Structure 1
Amino acid sequence: MAPDAADLPVKSIAVEMALPDLASQIAALEENTQHYVHEENVRPGDTLAAVLQRLGVDDDAAEAFIKSDKVARSVLQLKPGKRIQAQTSDDGELQWLSSMQIDGRDADGVRNVVINRVGDQFKASEVPAKLERRVEMHAGEIRSSLFAATDAAQIPDNVAKQIVEMFATDIDFASDLQRGDRFDVVYETFWQNGEFVRAGRILAGEFRNGGNTFKSVWFDEPSASQGGGYYSFDGKSLKKAFLKSPLEFSRISSGFSMRVHPISGQWKQHKGVDFAAAVGTPVRASADGVVEFSGNQGGYGNVVVLKHWSNLSTAYAHMSRFATGMHKGEKVSQGDVIGYVGTTGWSTGPHLHYEFRVNNAPRDPMSVDVPNAQPLAGAELQRFRNVAGDMSHRFALLSLADKGPKLAMK
C-alpha cells in the first residue's frame, strides 16, 4: 500500500519575482501600432464613397486619387460581390487598398490593383493574382430547367452556360430537356488566400437526356492540329458543322412544312423553321462562314445570309437589328452573334425565321445530317486517352457518391 500523502514531508521553495514594468510595455506597443485590415464586398447600388466609408477610410485625397489615376480607376468598377481590402490609420487616412479585377475566363485574367501611400502621395500598381487551381465535380438532376438544376447543385452560372455551349450541337436546351435528365460536370476553380475567386473551364461533362447519353472531354494539347476543343471519350470532335439551334433558349413555333400563312391566309410551304423568342435575344451563326447578304429583304425584314462550304448557306430573318460588323464578305465563326430577334418584315410577332439551304434550295435544318470535325489520331489520340481516363475515374467517383454533395480535389 502507498503511504498516506499527509505523512509525506513537505518542501517549500520561495522565489522573489520582480513586477513587470507596465509603462515600458505600453510604450513598446505604442511604437508598433497595430491596424486592422478591413474587407468589404461591393453591394448592389454601391458608390465609391459608400464602400470607403464601410472600410473606415476618411481620406478625401485618397478618394480623389482613385478617381483620377489611370490604374486606380479600375477600383471604380463596383460589381456586386467584388472584394476590396484596406488598411487605415487611427484617423482614417488610407495606408493601402487592394482590389481584385477579373477579365476573361481563365486565371490569366485575374489581377490585383494595389494602392499604397508613399508619404503624402499615392501610388497604384497592377500585379498578377497568385491563384490556387482546384478541380471540382458536381452532379445534378433536371426538375424544371437547367439553370434551376445547376443552382440546386451549387454550380456557378458561367459553368451552366458552358454546359449549354458544350452540348448545343446535340441538345436543344429549350425543348429537348426532360424531367429526370441528369448531368455530371468536372470544372476548374481558382482561389486566392483560401477564398473562391472564379470558376474556369469545364474539363469534362456527361449529360443523360432521355434515352441518350452525351459525354465530352476538353483536350488542349499544344501539338494538337485542331487546337483546344471538346471531344467524345473515343476521341471524336463534338464540334459539328452546324448548331442544332441558332438561339440558346427558344422553342420552335413553326416547322418546315405546309401551313396556313399567318398574313395571307393561304396554304403555303414554310421553307424554314421559326423560333419564338423575345425581342433582343441574340442570334448565333450556326456554322463558320462568310456574310453573303445583310440588310432588308421584303417579307424577310432584316435578314443575314451566311455562305458556308459545298454550296451550303443559312438565312436568319425578321431580326430587329444586326450585330456590329455584319457586312458582305465578313468572316464569322460558329456561335458568333450576328443579330438580334425582332419582328420586321412579314411577321406577326417576335421570332427568328431560320433557313438551311443546299444549292440555294431550302432544306429542313432539323433533319439535315452534317459531319463532325476530324477525330484525333496517332500520338494526339494517345495523349487524349490519358486525359479521358482521368475524367472517367472522376465520373465513377460521382456515381459512387450517389450524386451527393460537392466533391473537390486538386
Structure 2
Amino acid sequence: MRIAPLLCLAALLVTSASEAATRYTIKNRRIEPRQTLAQALHDAQLPDAQVTAVIAALEGVFDFRKSRVGDQFRLVIRDGELDFFDYRQSMVDEWQVRRDGEKYVGSKRAIEVEKQVSVVTLDINSSLYEAAIEAGEDPAIGMVLADVFAWDIDFYRDVRKGDRARALVEKFVSKGRVLRYGEVLAATYAGGLVGNKEVFRYVLPDGQPNYFTKEGASAKKTFLKSPLKYAHVTSKFGSRFHPVLKYLKAHNGVDYGTPIGTPVWAVADGTVTQAGYAGAAGNMVVIRHANGFETQYMHLSRFGDGVRAGARVRQKQVIAYSGNTGRSTGPHLHFGLKRNGGYTNPLNQVFPRADPLPKQLLPDFLAKAQELSSQMEAVSVAAVAGQAANAPVAATQP
C-alpha cells in the first residue's frame, strides 16, 4: 500500500507591510519499494532541474546505494523553489541539502549523542524480551545479556519465572532516546535453574576485553551453550519420527526454531572443513575443533564472510545465517556435535573454562571489579531514591 504523503501548507509569512508575502510548502515523503531517491523526488513533483541539483549536492556525501524503503525525506519549497531538503534513515543518520545563493550544498547532519552508564534490572515473569519491555528498556538489551552470559546460560531453556538479571551498561542516548547499548561493564543473573552468576568486564594488556568472575576465573568456556543468541529447541537429540521421511530415525543433533536469516555463531574456535550444499542437510558448515570435537550447522540460508573450507574461525564469529534449505519442513537450524567421530548430545555437555587471569593481573582486576560493584550499587540506590522522591505523598487525616 502506498503511504499517503503528508502535505502541509505553511501560513503566509509577511516580511513587511510593503513587501509581498513569501509562500512556503512543506512535503513529507518516504522511499517506497523499487523507488530510487531521484524517482521519489520526481514523484513529489520537484522540477527536473532541482532534482538534478539535489542529487549533485549529495554526491560524495550520501551513498545512494544505501537508500532503503521507508527512509523519510522532507522538502521545504519557498515560492516554488526548493529551499531545504532533509533525508533521514535513523535517529543518527540524517543528511541535508541547503540552498546557498544560486547553488545547493549537501552535508550529513551532526547528531549529538551522549554516552551514559546505567543499571538495567530485568525481573523475568515469562521471557527476557517481555522483561525488557516491562522495565521500559529496548528489547535489544536481552541480546546484549545473552552475549555476556553465552557460556553459562541458554536464554530459552534455562530461564525460569522469578529470575532476575542486572547489568551496569553503557547507553548511547540522543534527544532522550536510547539509540543503542554499548559495553556491559558488569552483570549478575540470579536464576532458579542456573544459580547465581556474576561477571565483570576487564581489558587485558593486549587490549582484548573479556569477562571474569569476581574471583578472576574466566567467564569464557571452550564451547558456547548454543550456536544462537536466542532460539528455542524444537527437536532434541535422540530417536524421533522424521517429519519428512515418515519413519523413526536417529536425530543426531538439536533443532532450533528460528527465522530465516538469524546469525549463527561458531560455538568454539576451529577450522572449517566443509562449507557448501550437502543434499538433505542443505547448506552446511562443518568445523573441526580441538580435542576431537566437530560441529555441524545445517539448513543454512547463506554463509558468513570468508567462511570456506580451510578457513580459521573464532568462537562467536558469525559463520552463517539460518534458513530452510535441504530436507526441511520449516525455518530452523540443525546443530550437531561429534566427539572422536561419534555423535553426542550437545545439550548435556560440560566444557571447561578458559584460563583464569594471570596472578600478576589479579590485584588490578579485583580493585576494578570492586569499583564496578560499588558503581552498580550506587546507581541502583540513586534510581530508587529518585523514584521515591517522585512518588505521590498520601494525604493524612488531621
Residue of structure 1 equivalent to 2:362? 381
Contiguous gaps of at least 5 residues in structure 2:
1-14, 389-398
Residue of structure 2 equivalent to 1:241? 222
Match of 1:198 among 179, 184, 201: 179
The reply on whether 1:209 has 2:191 as its aligned counterpart is yes
Partners of 1:169 and 1:403 in 2: how far apart?
Answer: 35
Residue of structure 2 equivalent to 1:185? 167
Q: Contact conserved, 2:260 with 2:321, CA < 8 A, in 1?
A: no
Greater Cα offset, 311-320 or 181-190:
311-320
Q: Deviations over 1:290-325 (max 9, x none)?
A: 210123445544432101223321112344554454
Q: Which amino acid letter does the alignment assign opposite residue 67 of structure 1?
A: I
Q: Which amino acid letter does the alignment assign opposite residue 230 of structure 2?
A: F
Question: Aligned-pair distance for 1:149?
Answer: 0.9
The reply on whether 1:273 has 2:282 as its aligned counterpart is no
The reply on whether 1:288 has 2:276 as its aligned counterpart is no
Match of 1:119 among 80, 101, 123: 101
Residue of structure 2 equivalent to 1:162? 144
Partners of 1:403 and 1:319 in 2: how far apart?
Answer: 50
Q: Contact conserved, 2:62 with 2:95, CA < 8 A, in 1?
A: no
Residue of structure 2 equivalent to 1:331? 312
The reply on whether 1:171 has 2:171 as its aligned counterpart is no
- Counterpart of 2:348 in 1: which secondary structure? coil
Q: Which amino acid letter does the alignment assign opposite residue 141 of structure 2?
A: V
Residue of structure 2 equivalent to 1:139? 121
Question: Aligned-pair distance for 1:115?
Answer: 3.7
Q: Which amino acid letter does the alignment assign opposite residue 229 of structure 1?
A: N
Partners of 1:403 and 1:361 in 2: how far apart?
Answer: 57
Question: Aligned-pair distance for 1:43?
Answer: 7.5
Partners of 1:278 and 1:293 in 2: how far apart?
Answer: 23
Q: Which amino acid letter does the alignment assign opposite residue 197 of structure 2?
A: F
- Aligned counterparts, 1:3-402, within 5 A: 64-68=52-56, 69-73=58-62, 77=67, 91=79, 113=95, 115-126=97-108, 129-192=111-174, 194-196=175-177, 198-203=179-184, 204-211=186-193, 212-219=195-202, 221=203, 224-225=205-206, 227-258=208-239, 263=245, 265-266=247-248, 270-297=251-278, 299-323=280-304, 325-335=306-316, 336-342=318-324, 344-345=326-327, 350-378=331-359, 380-397=361-378, 400=381
Residues 90 and 273 of structure 1: is their aligned pair in 2 closer, same or farther, counting only changes over 3 Å? closer
Q: Contact conserved, 1:133 with 1:188, CA < 8 A, in 2?
A: yes
Q: Contact conserved, 1:59 with 1:92, CA < 8 A, in 2?
A: no
Question: Aligned-pair distance for 1:121?
Answer: 0.9
Q: Contact conserved, 1:187 with 1:199, CA < 8 A, in 2?
A: no
Question: Aligned-pair distance for 1:387?
Answer: 3.2
Contiguous gaps of at least 5 residues in structure 1:
1-25, 31-35, 53-57, 104-109
Question: Aligned-pair distance for 1:234?
Answer: 2.7
Partners of 2:134 and 2:253 in 1: how far apart?
Answer: 37
Q: Which amino acid letter does the alignment assign opposite residue 73 of structure 1?
A: F
Q: TM-score, normalised by structure 2?
A: 0.71
- Counterpart of 1:175 in 2: which secondary structure? coil
Partners of 1:288 and 1:317 in 2: how far apart?
Answer: 18
Q: Contact conserved, 1:113 with 1:125, CA < 8 A, in 2?
A: yes
Partners of 2:212 and 2:157 in 1: how far apart?
Answer: 24
- Counterpart of 2:116 in 1: which secondary structure? strand
- Counterpart of 1:217 in 2: which secondary structure? strand
Partners of 1:385 and 1:96 in 2: how far apart?
Answer: 55
Q: Which amino acid letter does the alignment assign opposite residue 365 of structure 2?
A: F
Residues 348 and 378 of structure 1: is their aligned pair in 2 closer, same or farther, counting only changes over 3 Å? same
Q: Contact conserved, 2:151 with 2:221, CA < 8 A, in 1?
A: yes
Residues 291 and 102 of structure 1: is their aligned pair in 2 closer, same or farther, counting only changes over 3 Å? farther
- Counterpart of 2:370 in 1: which secondary structure? helix
Question: Aligned-pair distance for 1:151?
Answer: 1.3
- Counterpart of 1:387 in 2: which secondary structure? helix
- Counterpart of 2:347 in 1: which secondary structure? coil
Q: Which amino acid letter does the alignment assign opposite residue 59 of structure 2?
A: K
Q: TM-score, normalised by structure 1?
A: 0.69
Greater Cα offset, 182-191 or 294-303:
294-303
Structure showing greater Rg: 1
Question: Aligned-pair distance for 1:284?
Answer: 2.4
Residues 325 and 74 of structure 1: is their aligned pair in 2 closer, same or farther, counting only changes over 3 Å? closer
Partners of 1:320 and 1:123 in 2: how far apart?
Answer: 43
- Counterpart of 2:137 in 1: which secondary structure? coil
RMSD across aligned positions (CA) = 4.5
Residues 307 and 61 of structure 1: is their aligned pair in 2 closer, same or farther, counting only changes over 3 Å? same
Question: Aligned-pair distance for 1:256?
Answer: 3.5
Question: Aligned-pair distance for 1:138?
Answer: 2.1
Number of residue pairs aligned between Structure 1 and Structure 2:
362
Q: Contact conserved, 1:71 with 1:124, CA < 8 A, in 2?
A: no
Q: Contact conserved, 1:139 with 1:398, CA < 8 A, in 2?
A: no
Question: Aligned-pair distance for 1:161?
Answer: 1.5
Partners of 2:90 and 2:104 in 1: how far apart?
Answer: 23
